[in-house]
Structure 1
Amino acid sequence: MLDSIFIGMTGLDSFSKGIKLIGNNTSNMNTPGYKGSSLQFGDLMYSGGTPNGVSGGGGSERAGTGVNTFGTYVNLKAGELRQTENGMDMAVDGLGLFVLKDLEGALRYTRAGQFDFDLDGRLINRNDKSRVQALDGEGRLADVVLEGQRVNPPSASKRVSFKGNLSSSATDQTISNVNVLDARGTTRPLTIKLASRGTEKVGYWKVTVLDGTAEIGTGEIGFKDGAPIADASKVNLDYKPAGQTEALPLVLDFSREVTSFASGNLSTLAFASQDGFQAGTLSKTTVDENGTVVLTYSNGQTRRTQTLALMRYESPEAVRQIGNNQFEDTGVGGLSLGLAQQSGFGAVRAGYIELSNIDLSKEFSELIIMQRGYQASSQIVSTANEMIQQLFSMRGK
């Protein structure tokens, strides 16, 4: 009977651990990236035996000594991805965990990509300020930083495009306010004058480029059957803006949306676009599906910088939960680093967060089972205690 009390106590202890684990799972049902755990049960050693020493079979007298727990099993199944309105929220759609480096320099891993840039321009985990890691071309980990990238410098115009019809029956055409940018991002209005070569060279036009009243270059373009001639559709010149020492290469491009058909003296040829831009400040930061950080500037330009590192494991035993939605290396091996959408790694989804993989209905079902097991074990202890009390009472008589 004393053995029965001991056996019942092992049940009480084990089922109480199970209830505690279910409580932890349930309380984390809304924790981003949380992975549920389940308790592993096992029977304790057996004692006794049959007279002939053969255990097992129908005549065995061996009896168990209760139940034991052998730790927890972590369910690493991915949770649902839910969209947020924060571009720095990230989730991995497929295999992989984000790599973090904590304040002591130890590597941590997480599926809960709740990141942001700190005042120093480093990408950090919002929960504990650990630094998000990128992977360079040589396979080395590095912090993701914005140093030197908050401003996008200006770029001088290199190509100026035109569109419209240059009347083949006209003798000249002037295009004013062809605005280009110099190396400082300053707008420079140019004037383009076109003069027909007439019968001297049918279909060809002399192009003269003026900065104010100063001529900065000339060239020639030609048309055949109304379409630009491939090797006579661009004018190349070196443009040195007033007050600057360095000449800028500039191409006037008439090759794409320009025609030359007869239309009296009316020409619709006009300035279409140029590829220079002014200086811009950082206005938006996000990450593409490959995990590359994409910076967007106020001047409409974008820049692709570092690529986030991902880690995956060959066995669940390679990682363990340590809190703060993070895992650490157990030291048994089987971890590998890589990049999103390469070598089996999943894609990075910016503006999404992975939810907990807890199934509440399953947890409640398990809770009922644990509760009944605890009640049954309690009943065993109570019954065995009553039997002992009855035995003592019989002896007293």
Structure 2
Amino acid sequence: MLRSMYSGVSGMRGFQTKLDVIGNNIANVNTVGFKAGRVMFKDILSQTVSGVTAPTEGVTGGVNAKQIGLGVAAASIDTVHTPGSAVTTNVPTDVRIDGDGFFAVTASGDGAQETPFLTRAGNFTLDANNQLVNADGMFVLSSDGAPIILDAEIKSFSISSDGTIIGVNADGTTAATDFKIGVVKVNNPSGLEKIGGNLYQITANANPDGAAELSEAANAEAGTGSIVAGQLEMSNVELTAEFTEMIVAQRGFQANSRIITTSDEILQEVVNLKR
């Protein structure tokens, strides 16, 4: 069989993967804190028809190898952690990180979950027990790793740039609470694993030993970035770029399909030689 046919199949598979990633990006264009993905390709092992010949001084020159490529494969599917645009909501519990950190949330308020999940989506709310939670009811962790639970007598509150929650009592007096919203710095954000629900799971390739060390926001040494209250970070998907990449993927898919049909026509001519 012709090698070109298998190369065409690998190309169609690769561009189908690229279209899958583009489709997911476009579907999440309005998802809070979403980070777009991208597909990078690599060539598959080449078949060597003849090897390299070294030059012989004064006799012959060197000869390069003759190799035939065997197609393409997906080298990686990266998550692009560039910042998304900021949207002002004026909701006190909406926060975004102006920097490279992540919020930490946990499904268990009693500390049973050792490693928290990470998220850039700061659309938090207070539940009936004055606990700060995300849209799925997961607890938002403070800088010391504890769930944030406000006192019942607090009438309202605000959040400072370092994550400190400042409460306003019924008599109008203000006082800083014992809670600061925790932020986690990740050495390699692309090493995080997406698990759905705007959440990431830390891995050994994101931080050493898969650790998630909570710290305060606006920490210059930790590089966690400051917290901006009343705003949300939207998706970093750019529709113009995505639609351009969609056209490239579509044409690439069509071109590889032509390789298969052309190879099929050549094979048909070989079969017809007997007639």
Given candidates 332, 339, 343, the residue that maps to 2:216 is 339
The amino acid across from 2:174 in the alignment is T
SS of residue matched to 2:165? strand
The answer to whether the aligner puts 1:120 opposite 2:143 as a matched pair is: no
- Partner AA of 1:325 in structure 2: N
2:92 aligned partner:
87
Q: C-alpha deviations, 1:217-263, integer Å up to 9, x for none? A: xxxxxxxxxxxxxxxxxxxxxxxxxxxxxxxxxxxxxxxxxxxxxxx
SS at match of 1:113: coil
- Corresponding letter in the other structure for 2:74: T
After TM superposition, the structure 1 = structure 2 runs for residues 1-397 of structure 1, keeping only pairs within 5 Å, are 1-50=1-50, 53-54=51-52, 59-103=64-108, 105=113, 106-126=115-135, 128-136=136-144, 141-146=145-150, 149-151=151-153, 282-305=154-177, 306-332=179-205, 333-334=207-208, 335-342=212-219, 343=221, 344-395=223-274, 397=275
Q: Counterpart amino acid of 2:127?
A: D
The alpha carbon displacement at 1:49 in A equals 2.7
For the residue of structure 1 that corresponds to 2:185, the secondary structure is strand
Given that 1:49 and 1:55 are in contact with CA atoms closer than 8 Å, whether structure 2 keeps it comes out as: no
| Residue identity opposite 2:218 in structure 1 | Q
Q: Distance in 1 between matches of 2:187 and 2:64?
A: 45
Supply the AA of the counterpart residue of 2:149. V
Write the letter of the residue equivalent to 2:216.
L
**CA distance in 2: counterparts of 1:345 and 1:55, whole angstroms:** 55
Contact 2:7–2:70, Cα closer than 8 Å, also in 1: yes
Cα offsets for 1:21-51 (capped at 9, x unmatched)? 011111111111000110010000011232x
3-state SS of the aligned residue for 1:7?
helix
Runs of 4+ with >4 A deviation: 55-59
Name the SS of the counterpart of 1:49 in structure 2: strand
The answer for unaligned runs of 5 or more in structure 2 is 55-61
Distance 2:105 2:127 in 1: 15
- CA distance in 1: counterparts of 2:53 and 2:237, whole angstroms: 42
Please tell me whether Structure 1 or Structure 2 has the larger radius of gyration of its CA atoms. Answer: 1
Equivalent-residue separation in structure 2 for 1:385 and 1:391 (angstroms):
10
C-alpha contact 2:52 2:63 (8 A) present in aligned 1: no
CA distance in 1, matches of 2:187, 2:53: 40
Query: Aligned equivalents of 2:119 and 2:76: distance in 1?
Result: 22
1:317 to partner: Cα distance = 4.3
The answer for the alignment partner of 1:163 in structure 2 is none
Q: Provide Cα deviations, 1:339-383, integer angstroms capped at 9, x if missing partner.
A: 111122211111100011111111111111111110100000010
2:58 is matched with: none
Percent identical pairs in the alignment equals 30
What letter is aligned with 1:382?
T
What is the count of residue pairs matched by the alignment?
257
* TM-score normalized by the length of structure 1: 0.62
Contact 2:80 2:190 in 1 (8 A): no
CA contact (8 A) 1:5 1:384 kept: yes
Unaligned runs of 5+ in 1: 152-281
In structure 2, the residue matched to 1:184 is none
Task: Note closer, same or farther for the CA distance 1:93–1:145 as it changes in structure 2 (3 Å cut).
Answer: same
Q: SS at 1:91's partner residue?
A: strand
- 1:349 counterpart letter in structure 2: V
Q: CA deviation at 1:328?
A: 1.1
**Which one-letter code corresponds to 2:7 in the other structure?**
I
**Structure with the higher helix share, 1 or 2:** 2
1:130 partner amino acid: M
Q: Hey, what's the Cα distance between the residues in 1 that align with 2:9 and 2:129?
A: 56
Q: Is the 8 A contact 2:52 2:64 kept in 1?
A: no
**What one-letter code is carried by the residue in structure 2 that aligns with 1:337?**
L
Helix, strand or coil at the partner of 1:371:
helix
Distance (Å, rounded) in 2 between the aligned partners of 1:287 and 1:119 = 20
- Mean alpha-carbon deviation: is it higher for 30-39 or for 316-325? 316-325
**Residue 255 of structure 2: SS of its match in structure 1?**
helix
